[in-house]
Amino acid sequence: MNPKAKFKPRADTSTLRQMLDDGWKARYLANVESKQAEVGETISQHLESLYPVADMAILRRYGCVRDLKDATIHVYNPETERWDQWFSIALPRTVETPNGYQTISCGGPRWSRNPGRGVNPETKAKMIAASEWEKFCSDQDKKEREQLPESLEPFFLMLVKERNQYKRDYRDCVGWPAKYRQERGKYPTWGEIVAEFSVLAGAE
């Protein structure tokens, strides 16, 4: 793309969208590939600790084992305070899991470290009275043990932040040429667009 060429909304909007997609894909792959082997190995070891080979050998006799080559990671999004992000990570080797296995989680509050376990005092009192508190704590502990190690949280948090930034960039970038024209009476050049949104440089 000629950096001195003027942006043409009808002809170039789809090109701008494609460049943004390509730029972010390149950036995402660079972030993932640089740590792919380390992250994939840690995930494999964690899954193998949850589902020992001896146990899977018994389940395999009854056709109840799934051979996993990629792990789907369910990640907590601090920006929305929800579990609304998923990422697929290739594993360095096939890992055996039960048929019912779907995803494994990463991030989020570790409620077992909170004296109230994330429950308000009134609810906690009711659960204690109903002899439900110990089971609740046990289930919560088990769920946290099954989560990916905390050492992987910075990696997946980085991916979440990158994805959130992509969504903002996509909205802002596509609308920026029209905003530029409103302010200056003309559309920007491609060079000016790339200067404003550096991720586009990766798509050139």
pLDDT digits (tens, 9 = 90+) for 188-199: 999 999 898 888
Residue 184 or residue 1, greater confidence: 184
Residue 202 banded pLDDT, cuts 50, 70, 90: low
pTM: 0.77
Model pLDDT, residue 204: 55
Computed over every residue of the chain, the mean pLDDT equals: 91
Buried b / exposed e over 168-204, threshold 16 CB at 10 Å, is ebeeebeebbeebeeeeeebbbbebbbeebebbebbe
pLDDT in tens, 6-56: 989 889 999 999 988 888 888 888 878 888 889 999 999 999 999 999 999
Q: Where are the domains of the chain?
A: 9-107+147-203, 109-146
